[in-house]
Structure 1
Amino acid sequence: MSSSSAAPGLSPATDRAPQSLCAREPRVPADRLVAEMVPPPRFDSVRFDTYVPDPGQPSQTEAVRVLAEFAAGLGGAHPAGAPRRGFLGFGRPKAHRSPAGPRGVYLDGGYGVGKTHLLASLWHATPAEPALKAFGTFVELTNLVGALGFQQTVRTLSGHRLLCIDEFELDDPGDTVLVSSLLGRLVDEGVALAATSNTLPGKLGEGRFASADFLREIQGLSARFRALRIDGEDYRHRGLPEAPRPFTDEQVTRTASATADASLDAFPQLLDHLAKVHPSRYGALTEGIGAVCLTRVRAVPDQSTALRLVVLADRLYDREVPVVASGSPFDQLFSEEMLNGGYRKKYFRAISRLTALARDGKKLVGAAAGD
Structure 2
Amino acid sequence: MTSSTAAAGGSSTAAPLSLCAREPRVPADRLVAEMVPPPRFDSVRFDTYVPDPAQPSQAEAVEVLRAFAAGIGDDAGAAGGKRRWFARRPAAQAGPRGVYLDGGYGVGKTHLLASLWHAAPAPADRKAFGTFVELTNLVGALGFQQTVRTLSGHRLLCIDEFELDDPGDTVLVSTLLGRLVEAGVALAATSNTLPGKLGEGRFAAVDFLREIQGLSAHFRPVRIDGDDYRHRGLPEAPRPYPAERVTAAAGATAGASLDAFPDLLDHLATVHPSRYGALTDGLRAVCLTDVRPVSDQSKALRLVVLADRLYDREIPVLASGVPFDRLFGEEMLNGGYRKKYFRAISRLTALAREAEGLIG
Whether TM exceeds 0.5 here: the answer is: yes
Residues in 2 aligned to 1:101 and 1:228: alpha-carbon distance in whole angstroms? 14
Q: Which ranges of structure 2 fall in alignment gaps of 5 or more residues?
A: 81-86
SS at match of 2:158: strand
| Aligned position for 2:154 | 160
Note the alpha carbon deviations across 1:248-281, whole angstroms, 9 max, x for none.
Answer: 1111011000111100000010011111111111
Residue 267 of structure 1 pairs with residue 261 of structure 2: yes
Residue 67 of structure 1 pairs with residue 75 of structure 2: no
| Aligned position for 1:329 | 323
Note the alpha carbon deviations across 1:92-133, whole angstroms, 9 max, x for none.
Answer: x97844447411000000111111010000000111110000
| Structure 1 residues 74 and 297, CA gap change in structure 2 (3 angstroms) | same
Residues in 2 aligned to 1:29 and 1:292: alpha-carbon distance in whole angstroms? 25
| Aligned position for 2:306 | 312
Q: Which ranges of structure 1 fall in alignment gaps of 5 or more residues?
A: 83-92, 367-371
SS at match of 2:197: coil
| Aligned position for 1:53 | 51
Query: What percentage of residue pairs aligned between the two structures are identical?
Result: 79
Displacement after TM superposition at 1:343 (Å): 1.6
Give, as a single letter, the amino acid of the residue that structure 1 aligns with 2:22.
Answer: R
When normalised by structure 2's length, the TM-score is 0.92
Residue 121 of structure 1 pairs with residue 136 of structure 2: no
State whether residues 136 and 164 of structure 1, in contact with CA within 8 Å, keep that contact through their aligned partners in structure 2. Answer: yes
SS at match of 2:174: helix
| Aligned position for 1:76 | 74
Note the alpha carbon deviations across 1:36-61, whole angstroms, 9 max, x for none.
Answer: 00001110001111111111100000
| Aligned position for 1:350 | 344
Displacement after TM superposition at 1:224 (Å): 0.3
Give, as a single letter, the amino acid of the residue that structure 1 aligns with 2:161.
Answer: E
| Aligned position for 2:249 | 255
State whether residues 204 and 341 of structure 1, in contact with CA within 8 Å, keep that contact through their aligned partners in structure 2. Answer: no
Residue 38 of structure 1 pairs with residue 36 of structure 2: yes
| Structure 1 residues 163 and 94, CA gap change in structure 2 (3 angstroms) | closer
SS at match of 1:175: helix
| Structure 1 residues 153 and 261, CA gap change in structure 2 (3 angstroms) | same
SS at match of 1:236: coil
Residues in 2 aligned to 1:225 and 1:244: alpha-carbon distance in whole angstroms? 40
State whether residues 126 and 154 of structure 2, in contact with CA within 8 Å, keep that contact through their aligned partners in structure 1. Answer: yes
Give, as a single letter, the amino acid of the residue that structure 1 aligns with 2:44.
Answer: V
Residue 103 of structure 1 pairs with residue 97 of structure 2: yes
Residues in 1 aligned to 2:288 and 2:7: alpha-carbon distance in whole angstroms? 28
Residues in 1 aligned to 2:185 and 2:79: alpha-carbon distance in whole angstroms? 13
SS at match of 2:54: coil
Could you tell which deviates more after superposition, 140-149 or 31-40? Answer: 140-149
Q: CA RMSD in A?
A: 2.3
Tell me how many residue pairs correspond in the alignment.
349
| Aligned position for 2:180 | 186
| Structure 1 residues 149 and 95, CA gap change in structure 2 (3 angstroms) | closer
SS at match of 2:161: strand
State whether residues 91 and 182 of structure 2, in contact with CA within 8 Å, keep that contact through their aligned partners in structure 1. Answer: yes
Displacement after TM superposition at 1:301 (Å): 2.2
State whether residues 307 and 344 of structure 2, in contact with CA within 8 Å, keep that contact through their aligned partners in structure 1. Answer: yes
| Aligned position for 2:197 | 205
Displacement after TM superposition at 1:154 (Å): 1.0
Aligned with residue 165 of structure 2, among 171, 179, 204 = 171
Aligned with residue 144 of structure 2, among 150, 159, 171 = 150
Residues in 2 aligned to 1:140 and 1:96: alpha-carbon distance in whole angstroms? 27
Give, as a single letter, the amino acid of the residue that structure 2 aligns with 1:308.
Answer: R
Residues in 1 aligned to 2:89 and 2:122: alpha-carbon distance in whole angstroms? 24
SS at match of 1:235: coil
Residue 141 of structure 1 pairs with residue 135 of structure 2: yes
State whether residues 70 and 121 of structure 2, in contact with CA within 8 Å, keep that contact through their aligned partners in structure 1. Answer: yes
